[in-house]
Amino acid sequence: MSAKSWSKTWTFFEGAWHEGNPAIVGARSNALWVASTVFDGARSFEGTAPDLDRHLLRINRSAEAMGLKPKIMLDTWMELAKEGLKRFDRNAALYIKPMVWAEHSGVVAVGPDPDSTRWCLCLYELPMPPEQGTSITLSPFRKPSPDTAPTQAKAACLYPNNARAALEAHNRGFDNAVMLDLAGKVAELASSNVFMAKDGVVFTPIPNGTFLDGITRQRVIALLRDDGVEVVEKALAYRDFETADEIFSTGNFAKVHPVRRIESRDLAPGPLYAKARSLYWDFAHSHGRIA
């Protein structure tokens, strides 16, 4: 048994709730050796679970994109998520992670058999990070294109590349890495979408199939635009970020988070970051309350 203990965790699998980290994949499972696994991740914090329905819809789209057969529809996902939330303190910070994978191979050895699709829903305690900001650097590793990887899905097989980018940056003294696409334009950070501000305008990479167009990303763009802020989605060079007035990220782990350093240049969290975070928190508390 690993010396590392899991935070409080509940997983719904095969008709029942299991406490802790149940063994659900075997040595011959297609998901283990071919990585035919998709997942999603919603957040619950401060008694809210913003855009939970959108995350639970996306898991089924990801499954279909990987050749799997979704078996749980939105109403059931939502019902199970609400059941799971009741097993934790109401204001606990949680990760809500539905997962879908193939148990057997299909007509080709490495391909999944869609009729063997399995699924689970895992909820676990994961504190929200303090709003202290992160440091970022340019990664030597790039994002794959849609013709080289299943980028249209939130697929587990995509994340080792992100992980090695994050680890390489960490080994050089940074918290996160800016990853470029194959054309040399900024795609995202290793673990979140990225934004910058210059002269009162917010910019973010335009989705081009090389990175996940995050649900929190979409929400923040809409909230800023509704509040009168100009948000431009376009191809951006790393130099654009190096000379930005502000940089911040969006994603499920921290939701909206400031970048305080890019390479050797220090940045202060600015007014557009503050507005994005405030608008998102207001949205979460007004529209994401847990029933």
Q: What is the per-residue pLDDT across 48-94, written as a single tens digit (0 to 9) for each?
A: 999 999 999 999 999 999 999 998 999 999 999 999 999 999 999 99
| Local structure of 180: helix, strand or coil | strand
Angle at 186 between CA 184 and CA 191, to 5 degrees: 130
pLDDT of residue 1: 40
- CA 93 – CA 97 distance, rounded (Å): 13
CATH class for domain 9-125?
alpha beta
Q: Which long-range contacts (CB under 8 A, 24 or more apart) does 109-116 make?
A: 110/34, 111/34, 111/36, 111/67, 112/30, 112/31, 112/34, 112/36, 112/66, 112/67, 112/68, 113/30, 114/67, 114/68, 114/69, 115/69, 116/30
- CA 123 – CA 8 distance, rounded (Å): 8
Indicate whether 167 pLDDT > 80.
yes
Q: What are the tens digits of pLDDT across the range 243-274?
A: 999 999 999 999 999 999 999 999 999 999 99
- CA 192 – CA 159 distance, rounded (Å): 12
Domain at 134-287: CATH code: 3.20.10.10
In the numeric block, which tokens belong to residue 251? 């994603």
How large is the average pLDDT for residues 30-54?
Answer: 96
Residues 6+ apart with CB under 8 A from 114: 67, 68, 69, 102, 106
Provide CATH 3.20.10.10 ranges for the chain.
134-287
